[in-house]
A and B are shown apart, each in its own frame.
Chain A
Amino acid sequence: MRDKTMTADEAVSRLTSGMTLGIGGWGSRRKPMALVRALLRSEVTDLTVVSYGGPDVGMLAAAGRIRKLVAAFVTLDSIPLEPHYRAARERGAFELMEIDEAMFMWGLHAAANRLPFLPVRAGVGSDVMRVNPGLQTVTSPYEDQETFVAMPALRLDAALVHVNRADRLGNGQYLGPDPYFDDLFCEAADAAYVSCERVVDTAELTKEAAPQTLLIKRHVVTGVVEAPNGAHFTSCAPDYGRDEAFQKTYATTPWPEFAAWYLGEGS
């Protein structure tokens, strides 16, 4: 079987400008920051980013890499409003598809299940319909005749996620309290790159953890990147919590100054 391990730079070298890119995690929790950092060091731009947004979105927005964002929110959790995202939105820096977080989830489900859309009881009556004039509704063919949003599949060219452990084949394991939607991101993508705190032997994965922790299956994974501390400064329970001091520095430092150091050589 194929050894899929590669470096973060090798993973990013397979991405191209103009792609639709899904990024796992949630807010400032288990974000694939090592991969995002490698992406920021590359020339890849003009991206459609699909994310339960955190600093991944803030950084890519600040760096001008986003052409279009698909999101329900962008937050740093302990800092409710993401300052770099805010600034980018307030200068009209990119196109936004703002949708409800349940619509987002069903969009990923639709993509993973090769469906064009799924009906969702969310969005109707809200301005999500006004700001996304392309969204269509569908009426139940059964007796109830209820009208739903026909949430289109959020199909991805590539997905980037970070988990606690993985083997060389691409089986990914989460050990924290919430899987977020990382498995769905991988299943919705043509290529998924999974970074992890530690690459271990397959047998090691279930030595001390239940098989239910095996979130991501290797058949949807293209690359495995060993990246210790790879979610930093976001949380990666139980391996580490959020680095609040670092996050605060990120949030309060002008982006060019922060980027010069964050993306600089050897850091």
Chain B
Amino acid sequence: MNGVTRADYCVIACAEAWRDAGEILASPMGLIPSLGARLAKRTFAPDLLLTDGEALLVGLDGTVEGWLPYRAHLALVTGGKRHVMMGASQIDRYGNQNISCIGDWARPARQLLGVRGAPVNTLNNPTSYWVPRHSRRVFVERVDMVCGVGHDHAAGARYHRIPRVVSDLGVLDFATPDRSMRLASLHPGVTVAQVREATGFELTVPDEVPYTREPTAEELRLIREVVDPDGTRTREVSA
């Protein structure tokens, strides 16, 4: 399709995380996941709940429909009616995620945010990830601090699920026998070699890798005219 940018594909790939999710809270962290959640709600997932980023549940036009202070938000997490898309300073082949620190935890080379709610998220509600710059610095063999729990650490935890990892290069999932990361689709314009080069561990790549699907004409109109008319998405992922 004409003029579809990399950022547009990223919005579509994030939106797809919430397809058929039903009446649950979509918790996107970061700009493009937020655009994806709003696009999903406007099209194929109209029942999604969204927050204003603080304590209110709001409709697409900002109408307040509920109250969700942190204590209630944490209860909603453990109730499971939520799909969060978090960021990752590091993520490894089994989907362990780190947002706490780089280097030795006891005295880190770089202190980051802290574990925040990554442990409770990953054990209680579906958790996907968004990485705006796919690189070996982020996609590492082993994370320095396991915040979000990956498949090799989850020990079959009953509500543990990592549906997808979306990056600026493609979509990854864990549909492999040992639940390690697999390349699920490439954004058009990206090659398998590029993804391999930017990934710091052995990635499972199927013989035929599909491309991330094209946006429909209506989705493209919504992205450009309604969801992100100012084009902020290209600041997170350049064309």
Contacts and interface: CB of A to CB of B under 8 A. Distances in A.
Interface of A: 26, 53, 71-75, 80-81, 85-86, 89-92, 98-103, 105, 120-128, 130-131, 146, 177-181
Contacts of B222: none
Interface in B159-175: 159-160
Contacts of A72: 114-117
A99 to B, nearest CB: 7
26 contacts: A26-B70, A73-B114, A73-B115, A86-B110, A90-B107, A90-B110, A90-B111, A98-B105, A98-B115, A100-B116, A102-B77, A102-B120, A121-B124, A121-B159, A122-B124, A124-B155, A125-B119, A125-B123, A125-B154, A125-B157, A126-B146, A126-B147, A126-B148, A127-B146, A146-B158, A181-B70
Contact of B70 (A85, A124, A180): A180
A89 B110 CA distance: 9
Contacts of B122: 125-126
Which 3 pairs, one residue from A and one from B, show the smallest C-beta to C-beta distance?
A73-B114, A122-B120, A102-B120
A124 B157 contact: yes
A89 B104 CA distance: 11
Nearest to B113: A73
Given A177-B56, A177-B69, A178-B69, A128 B111 contact: no
> Which has the most chain B C-beta neighbours within 10 Å: A72, A81, A130?
A72
B238 to A, nearest CB: 21
A205 to B, nearest CB: 20
B212 interface: no
Contacts of B116: 72-73, 100-101
A199 to B, nearest CB: 25
The size class of the interface chain B forms with chain A is 35 or more
Contacts, number: 125
Nearest to A89: B111
Given A74-B114, A121-B120, A124-B149, 19 more contacts: A26-B70, A53-B114, A72-B114, A72-B115, A73-B113, A73-B114, A81-B113, A89-B101, A101-B74, A101-B116, A101-B120, A105-B74, A125-B153, A125-B157, A126-B146, A126-B153, A130-B105, A130-B146, A178-B55
A92 B107 contact: yes
Nearest to A93: B107
A102 B117 CA distance: 7
B48 interface: no
A100 B74 CA distance: 11
Contacts of B113: 73-75, 80-81
Given A72-B116, A121-B123, A85 B111 contact: yes
Contacts of B160: 125
Contacts of B119: 100, 102-103, 122-126, 128
> Which has the most chain A C-beta neighbours within 10 Å: B71, B105, B157?
B71
Contacts of B204: none
Contacts of A98: 100, 105, 114-115
